[in-house]
Amino acid sequence: MRLAVVCLLVFGCDIATTPRRDVQTDFQQVSAKLEKNKVAITVAGKLFTCYKFAPSQKYPYFWPVNGPLSGLSITTESSQPYPHHHSLFFGCDRVNGGNFWQEENKYGQIISQGQKIIETKGSRVVFTDVCFWQQPESKPIILDTRRIVITAPNENLRFIDFEINLQPLTDIQIQKTNHSLFAARVVPELSVQSGGTLVNAEGKTGEKETWGVASPWCDYYGTRKGVTEGISILQHPHNRWFPSKWFTRDYGFFSPTPMNWLEDNQPFKLAKGEMLTLRYRVVIHAGDVQTADIDGLFKQYTSDEGRVITAN
């Protein structure tokens, strides 16, 4: 079963994982190298990000996620409050009574079973990962297969395309929780509390205006050491719950979090064998949200109704 799902990821369609040719591009060379407990990604010979998957971790995550100009991480590996927010990650609380989001592995982990680099260098890199959601001394409850595509369309942009397929190995029930699914935590220097900007697709800003608001994307940017950079999370319109409502915080956290707003407050259920596929594009950019044209990048991401867009 696991092999079949991995094959689907490796040989299946890319959903808008390469920028359109009508967008100004000057692709930077991207390379991937499998090291101990991580996949290291470089752009133009400089470290961009690492996908970390040590068995001691709560879940796999990306860190650092370096800005294209500063070379400094836009995300924090851990920070107060809530040090369990590890940079850029995917997880969920209250899954069949387990916790696959916060610390203490005894309540559950998302454990990598093995990565495979499909494309090691060029205008993009592609790798896959297979994970089990399980508690200690218990059978896995979810098979999680991921396909990650990383590109650098020009010197000011980096894309992480994240596709995740969740296949229940038993009937799954997720209770209402604000700790759910894809999320990012920026460094304190870029947070709203430090003078940064959190903005959604409708132009609403800050925690007060964006929390609990449905929007296709949100962006967090700020200026550090004279350099302005930011990070966006774009939801693909084929995702269930699109556009999801957002859980946002002025201290630097943001996440499209559907499980906090379940219909009629009823648990979300997935039957054994039923597949849930979710896709996101993370944009790491120089400049503010207007300079980076995040709205235009979202339209690019969702163009052609998600048909295959190749680098050829």
How does residue 303 score in pLDDT terms, banded at 50, 70 and 90? Answer: confident
Q: Rounded distance, CA 133 to CA 130, Å?
A: 10
Q: Which of 204, 186, 162, 196 is nearest to 254 (CA)?
A: 186
pLDDT of amino acid 80: 84
pLDDT of amino acid 19: 53
pTM, full prediction: 0.91
Sheet holding 157-168, edge to edge: 109-119, 124-134, 142-154, 157-168, 276-286, 227-235, 217-224, 197-200
Percent of the chain at pLDDT exceeding 90:
85
In this predicted structure, the answer to whether residue 131 has a pLDDT above a threshold of 80 is yes
Please, is 112 exposed, middle or buried when counting C-beta atoms within 10 Å of its C-beta (0-12, 13-18, 19+)? buried
In this predicted structure, the answer to whether residue 172 has a pLDDT above a threshold of 90 is yes
Q: Over the chain, what is the mean pLDDT?
A: 91
Q: Any idea of the CA torsion for 266, 270, 271, 274, to the nearest 10 degrees?
A: 150
For the segment 112-117, the average pLDDT, to the nearest whole number, is: 95
Strand spans (E) along the chain:
30-35, 38-43, 46-52, 61-65, 88-95, 98-100, 109-119, 121-122, 124-134, 142-154, 157-168, 172-174, 180-185, 197-200, 217-224, 227-235, 246-248, 253-256, 268-270, 276-286
Domain residue ranges in the chain: 2-306
How does residue 309 score in pLDDT terms, banded at 50, 70 and 90? Answer: very low
* Model confidence pLDDT, tens digit, residues 269-283: 999 999 999 999 999
User: Which of residues 81 and 244 earns the better pLDDT score?
Assistant: 244
Q: Rounded distance, CA 159 to CA 19, Å?
A: 9
For the segment 159-177, the average pLDDT, to the nearest whole number, is: 98
Structure token digits, residue 28: 């930077």
In this predicted structure, the answer to whether residue 8 has a pLDDT above a threshold of 90 is no
Q: Tell whether omega for the bond before 68 is within 30 degrees of 0, i.e. cis.
A: no
pLDDT of amino acid 265: 81
Structure token digits, residue 226: 């004279």
Q: Which fold has domain 2-306?
A: Beta-galactosidase; Chain A, domain 5 (2.70.98)
| Longest CA pairwise span in the chain (Å) | 52
222 phi/psi in degrees, rounded to 5: -170, 175
How does residue 258 score in pLDDT terms, banded at 50, 70 and 90? Answer: very high
User: Which of 5-9, 82-86, 259-263 is predicted with the least confidence, judged by mean pLDDT?
Assistant: 5-9
DSSP state letter for 267? P
In this predicted structure, the answer to whether residue 191 has a pLDDT above a threshold of 90 is yes
* Model confidence pLDDT, tens digit, residues 228-252: 999 999 999 999 999 999 999 999 9
Q: Rounded distance, CA 189 to CA 158, Å?
A: 20
β-bridge partners, 221: 197, 230
In this predicted structure, the answer to whether residue 15 has a pLDDT above a threshold of 90 is no
